[in-house]
Structure 1
Amino acid sequence: MALSSGTSMAVYSERCKKYLGHLHIASAVYGASEGAIGVNVNEPGKQPEYALVPEADFVEFLPVDESGEAEEGATPLLASEVKMDKLYEVVLTNATGLYRYRMGDVVRVVGSYHGTPTVDFQFRAKQMLNVHMEKVSEAAFTGALRRAVDGWPDHQLVDFTTAESVLDPVAADGRSADLAGSPPYYLVLLELSGPSLPSQRIDDIDATLQLEHFVYRSFRVKSSIGPMRVVRVQPGTFAAYRQHVFDTTQTTMNQFKQPRVLRTEEQVKFFLDREL
């Protein structure tokens, strides 16, 4: 597997485990179509540690906060300047024309290998939910979602995405009395395997995120943010979305990354049209 780290990628690595049996998932390299970043120097079965490959491309590191936003006044750092356990967005310069290209990958410095920093992928930047200045990162939301789904023994998470309520047509056209005029909220779109989900379990995601994200909880308690609207979509919806992207854009299979936060009405409509 090219990259198995990070909360977002873990959705897929977890699904692979039932086919692998006792075999470990081995992630040998950390790279992208833009260039090579690192080689895993840890053994299979352990958390990857990607040692940078300075001969491949020139990589810098932009300091970011826990939500993936660049810190105020931050400038890219050299590999020799990064600090242990800090988060950075990868900035790449290569021989084919990219200059200080912000890849959108957030990594954490986890160690060193013969003096070279080792990093591990955490989450994608700009995949943050923020309806009332709460700034819930992809990592925070995905972690809460996975822990909530772990409490549903008859269900497995196939895939998911989210959107902010401003893009939800239910809230926009007032068809739901419960949502019309309500405070902003998160729209959560889930593809699950298993039977129908009891309505009382739907609140588990919101409750788990409140336990793990203090700012989100404070706004929920004050009703500045409303409860999530969780929509279960038909089996195969996310596979259909990937194919739709391939058919309508120049994105290739090895470049595609499922967006965890949808940013257009067209994207949201694609999923809501396939509500189960």
Structure 2
Amino acid sequence: MYSQMLCGLIMREEVLRVGAVFASGLLRAIRFLQLNWKELANDIATGSLNHKVTSPSIRECMAKILKPNQELAEFITNECSDENWEDYYSGGLPKPCTMYASSECYFGLNLRPMSKPSEVSYTIMPNMGYFEFLPHDPSAPAFSRESPPRLLDLADLEAGKEYELVITTYSGLNRYRVGDILLVTGFYNKAPQFRFVRRKNVLLSIESDKTDESELQKAIENASLLLREFSTSVVEYTSYADTKIIPGHYVIYWELLVKDPANSPTGEVLNRCCLAMEESLNSVYRQSRVADNSIGPLEIRVVKNGTFEELMDYAISRGASINQYKVPRCVSFTPIMELLDCRVVSKHFSPSAPHWTPERRS
């Protein structure tokens, strides 16, 4: 990472774009620059590679391109010494997403790559595999052998409806359920275009409640609005359903970026963030909290800066691909739980129950 970053800075005028398979990889690289720019600038100023890079082959390669360049070193220092990195590092540059893909195969292309991230739709390319779709209806009963699912082809889909993607690939997967829920947003000629909605799997559940990834993301976005006046944002998060005690409750791990430590959010504010999250969750969850008392107050555990970097390092040490790693939005693996819990700096709970009123029956 260090040597590649150094090469990118030295040959900056040849860099046309910066990208990664997942956005988390790009954020990790820029975070690395944020933490190591002083050493990188020093290497460029002196023309010598940092002694922490010990690989003989890398040092030999770097010696061929690393020459003293005081002007570039001063430029990097001027750009990086500003503490305001809040613009997600892009400085107004466009952030396109070009394709929709997974480990199994490529699915489709974004034919309007410069569109806003919230407006991105993908056009499925039928030559990349054979694609079928399950109409998504959360209230429908589960499939069985006696009532197999009804699969639809690309030509049978309707705008405005949600479907679960099923693929058959050239490499041998047969009617594999990817687990992605897609919304048909329109058509390109006659080809349906899709917006990724969420993963199908439920993330959190204590009793009859079911909270999926998109709902959890929305709840965190709503709660993080309370942090704006403190110039603080949520860098990363994950969650788990704690059922060790009765009633069980949701636990959300937050890593925060605090711009001004002298004006960091108070414990009371973070308690209100817990309640704001609960107010954003579905009515079944809120009924369980208010009427049934079967779910306890939601908890936010703030972890030290760099915790999610360590989580990624741990996953990679166990064989995960750095190019395909994504922060898990729900965790249950004991070593990961221990890693997170030993880096908790504060714990916060909802100060009251969320709003809920029973439905009136006619």
TM-score, scaled to structure 1: 0.82
Query: 1:273 maps to which residue?
Result: 342
Mapped partners of 2:22, 2:115: distance in 1: 11
Q: Deviations over 1:98-147 (max 9, x none)?
A: 11222222221111111111111122232421111111111011111012
The 8 Å contact of residues 242 and 250 in structure 2, kept in 1 or not, is answered as yes
Query: 2:121 maps to which residue?
Result: 49
Kindly state the Cα deviation for residue 83 of structure 1 after the two structures are TM-superposed.
2.6
Mapped partners of 2:328, 2:136: distance in 1: 20
- Is residue 31 of structure 1 aligned with residue 101 of structure 2? yes
Task: Look at both structures and tell me which one has the larger radius of gyration over its CA atoms.
Answer: 2
Alignment CA distance shift 1:257-1:4 (3 Å): closer
Query: 1:122 maps to which residue?
Result: 197
Q: Deviations over 1:55-103 (max 9, x none)?
A: 111122223346xx98633443222222322222222211112112222
Q: Deviations over 1:247-273 (max 9, x none)?
A: 112x21222222111133332222112
Identity %: 28
Counting only pairs closer than 5 Å after superposition, residues 27-176 of structure 1 correspond to structure 2 as 27-46=97-116, 47-65=119-137, 72-73=142-143, 74-153=149-228, 154-166=231-243, 172=244
Q: Deviations over 1:227-260 (max 9, x none)?
A: 11211111111111111111112x2122222211
Q: CA RMSD of the aligned region, Å?
A: 2.8
Query: 2:290 maps to which residue?
Result: 221
Q: What code does the residue aligned with 2:154 have?
A: A
Structure 1: segments with no counterpart, 5+ residues: 167-171, 173-180
Kindly state the Cα deviation for residue 212 of structure 1 after the two structures are TM-superposed.
4.7
Structure 2: segments with no counterpart, 5+ residues: 1-18, 29-84, 144-148, 346-362
Kindly state the Cα deviation for residue 33 of structure 1 after the two structures are TM-superposed.
2.3
- Is residue 198 of structure 1 aligned with residue 270 of structure 2? no
The 8 Å contact of residues 64 and 71 in structure 1, kept in 2 or not, is answered as no
SS at match of 2:195: strand
Alignment CA distance shift 1:86-1:71 (3 Å): farther
- Is residue 189 of structure 1 aligned with residue 259 of structure 2? no
Q: What code does the residue aligned with 1:137 have?
A: D
Shift >4 Å, 4+ stretches: 1-5
The 8 Å contact of residues 163 and 261 in structure 1, kept in 2 or not, is answered as yes
Alignment CA distance shift 1:17-1:51 (3 Å): farther
SS at match of 2:344: coil
The 8 Å contact of residues 22 and 326 in structure 2, kept in 1 or not, is answered as no
Mapped partners of 2:333, 2:266: distance in 1: 30
Higher relative contact order (CA 8 A, sep 6+): 1
Mapped partners of 1:270, 1:89: distance in 2: 34
Alignment CA distance shift 1:254-1:107 (3 Å): farther
Query: 2:333 maps to which residue?
Result: 264
Query: 2:79 maps to which residue?
Result: none
Q: Which region of structure 1 is more displaced relative to structure 2, 15-24 or 73-82?
A: 15-24
Mapped partners of 2:107, 2:86: distance in 1: 24
Query: 1:238 maps to which residue?
Result: 308
The 8 Å contact of residues 3 and 27 in structure 1, kept in 2 or not, is answered as no
Kindly state the Cα deviation for residue 49 of structure 1 after the two structures are TM-superposed.
1.3
The 8 Å contact of residues 220 and 227 in structure 1, kept in 2 or not, is answered as yes
Q: What code does the residue aligned with 2:248 have?
A: P
Alignment CA distance shift 1:49-1:164 (3 Å): same
Kindly state the Cα deviation for residue 201 of structure 1 after the two structures are TM-superposed.
2.1
The 8 Å contact of residues 2 and 30 in structure 1, kept in 2 or not, is answered as no
The 8 Å contact of residues 184 and 224 in structure 1, kept in 2 or not, is answered as yes
